[in-house]
Structure 1
Amino acid sequence: MGPSHAACGAAAWVALTADYTLQVSGYSVPVGFGVLPVGDAGVVTGALICAGAALLPDIDHPSGTVARSLPPFSGWLARIVARLSGGHRRGTHSVIGLLVFTLLAWLSQNAALPVGDGLRWLAESIGDDSAPAVVAALPGQVWPLAAVLSVLMIAFAVKVLAFIPDQISHANWLVAIGLGIVVATNPPEHPWWFVIAVALGCAVHMIGDMVTTQGIHLLWPLRPRLPVPSTFYRGRSFVRFPVLGKAGSGMELAVLTPISVYAVLGLACALAAWGGVTMT
């Protein structure tokens, strides 16, 4: 379900942030709810992060596609996470996993380094009014941890969506860093955008896996029985509501195709608005 997770993550971000209206044959068709105002660029760049975050829980699968996204680093990371989380669809697919990913995003967004501000303050404190233009052009603050997480999640999306063939998988580094720079230079306007994008993407992934027959260990590492019929359990701990059947089933494809089309439509509207083009 890798590509479908990424598409659902992007679609969820578009639905949350987009505030466009298409004129189709005289009818006004809204695209998105515009609940989170992030600007046109923010719809596009936030969708990249949310799509990547929707793949983040699968870092518990050492032989999965996500683990091969940034070789060899992603493989090492996947083996460590799999050991700590108890295996696939357990720790990283649980409520605790969602909280950990959200906390990590929050810490990353708040771990800023005052690069430009610090250098300008230093120049002023020593009375140097001729600070180099390059110092004046530097951003006031940078967020290195958020940048690293962004590159990692974008690489997940690039790998799963098969933008880069396996034969040149190391090129994922270049693509991810390039797109990470785009996100860094055009961040969404909302102050909590990064935390929300990561949490939303991970939640979308968990819901997507929960509605298949495999289910997820939602309350890992605990194994209490929820007050639901036994048909909604697999084994003693995996919760499932298998409305889509097995992962990759025809039902899943039928549901996810319009979701993917919606994500592409929303991103097209955002790109057009970002570029000053009116779509009808």
Structure 2
Amino acid sequence: MLGHSHAMSGLAAGAATLPWAGQVGVTGPVEQIAWVAAWGGFAMLPDLDQGGIHWRGVMPSATGSTVARMWGPITTTLASVVGKIAGGHRQGTHDLLLAPAIFGLLTVLASHDPWASMAVIALGIGLALQALHVVIPGKVEQTVIGNLVISVAGAWWVTGTANHALEWLPYAVAGGVVVHILGDWLTVGGVPVPLTWVGGHSVRLSASLFKTGAKPEHVLATMFGIAAIVLVVVFSPLQGYVVPVIQPVLTSAHTSP
């Protein structure tokens, strides 16, 4: 699936889980919105398995996935390392058993340090901004510096507002990774059967519903986007603002002859 499709599905999943988010430590409206955004951003994380720096002429050029190019040398270097460990694209980072567990465990370790937590949240915000550029005016979020500044500022705000360890962060990371893998499972390319990618000869699982980028995917992504908006309104404090506004309208429409 394309980046924005992964992000939309992640946002929808994050919004759908809001009723249970409190059980893993999500408190207040800021963290609720951060929870949903984190699912959307980290639903792109498994694509950190393709990328690096290549030389064209005399200037280095960042290549690979949206994830790899996001922060220039910072993320391209990371993507290069992850890709080699994972065995290439749609291999280790798309293992439905190992990938959520490993990414989640790394986030657990990071969650004990406020600076590491902020870095993880900044990564999630940056990924969400990159994936959702199709609905964001302008192109600031697509530039390395612009994305990095906005992401770090957003992460600083979330961690500063929380005033406590973000215990929910590993769950959002693991959840986003699961959503990504399930999304790629729907496509013709599929994902590896758990652990079969070790050694470079993976057995693939695929629902083969559509090719990546095909029209059915765009329809599905739109549906996910609409679902995310509706679920956020229903399950978050936004309901307290939206419902009083639309309730009189609905009542008037119902009682009018």
- Provide the TM-score with structure 1 as the length reference: 0.71
Q: What is the CA-CA distance between 1:265 and the residue it aligns to?
A: 2.9
Q: What is the CA-CA distance between 1:65 and the residue it aligns to?
A: 1.1
Q: What is the CA-CA distance between 1:42 and the residue it aligns to?
A: 2.5
Tell me the equivalent position of 1:259: 224
Runs (4+) of structure 1 exceeding 6 A deviation are 188-191
Q: What is the CA-CA distance between 1:66 and the residue it aligns to?
A: 1.1
Q: What is the CA-CA distance between 1:255 and the residue it aligns to?
A: 2.2
CA distance in 2, matches of 1:218, 1:40: 38
Cα 1:238–1:212 change in 2 (3 A) is: same
| Greater per-residue helix proportion | 2
CA distance in 2, matches of 1:219, 1:67: 24
User: Is structure 2 residue 75 aligned with structure 1 residue 61?
Assistant: no
Percent identity between matched residues is 27
Kindly report the root-mean-square deviation, in angstroms, between the aligned alpha carbons of the 2 structures.
2.6
**Structure 2 stretches lacking a partner, 5+ long:** 52-63, 247-257
Aligned residues: 220
User: Is structure 2 residue 107 aligned with structure 1 residue 105?
Assistant: yes
User: Is structure 2 residue 181 aligned with structure 1 residue 210?
Assistant: no
Deviates more, 1:39-48 or 1:68-77: 39-48
Tell me the equivalent position of 1:128: none
Q: What is the CA-CA distance between 1:48 and the residue it aligns to?
A: 1.6
**Structure 1 stretches lacking a partner, 5+ long:** 18-33, 113-142, 225-234
The CA deviation string for residues 43-101 of structure 1, in whole angstroms up to 9 with x for no partner, is 21111211111111000011111111111201111111111111000011112222110
The one-letter code sitting in structure 2 at the alignment partner of 1:58 is D
Secondary structure class of the residue paired with 2:172 = helix
User: Is structure 2 residue 110 aligned with structure 1 residue 148?
Assistant: no
> 2:160 is matched with which residue: 185, 188, 207?
185
Q: What is the CA-CA distance between 1:222 and the residue it aligns to?
A: 4.9
Secondary structure class of the residue paired with 2:21 = coil
Tell me the equivalent position of 2:132: 161
CA distance in 2, matches of 1:54, 1:161: 12
- Provide the TM-score with structure 2 as the length reference: 0.77
Q: What is the CA-CA distance between 1:191 and the residue it aligns to?
A: 6.3
Q: What is the CA-CA distance between 1:170 and the residue it aligns to?
A: 1.9
The one-letter code sitting in structure 1 at the alignment partner of 2:21 is L
The answer on whether the counterparts of 2:103 and 2:173 sit within 8 Å (CA) in structure 1 is yes
CA distance in 1, matches of 2:216, 2:165: 36
The answer on whether the counterparts of 1:93 and 1:218 sit within 8 Å (CA) in structure 2 is no
The CA deviation string for residues 100-156 of structure 1, in whole angstroms up to 9 with x for no partner, is 1010111122x23xxxxxxxxxxxxxxxxxxxxxxxxxxxxxx22111111112111
The answer on whether the counterparts of 1:55 and 1:202 sit within 8 Å (CA) in structure 2 is yes
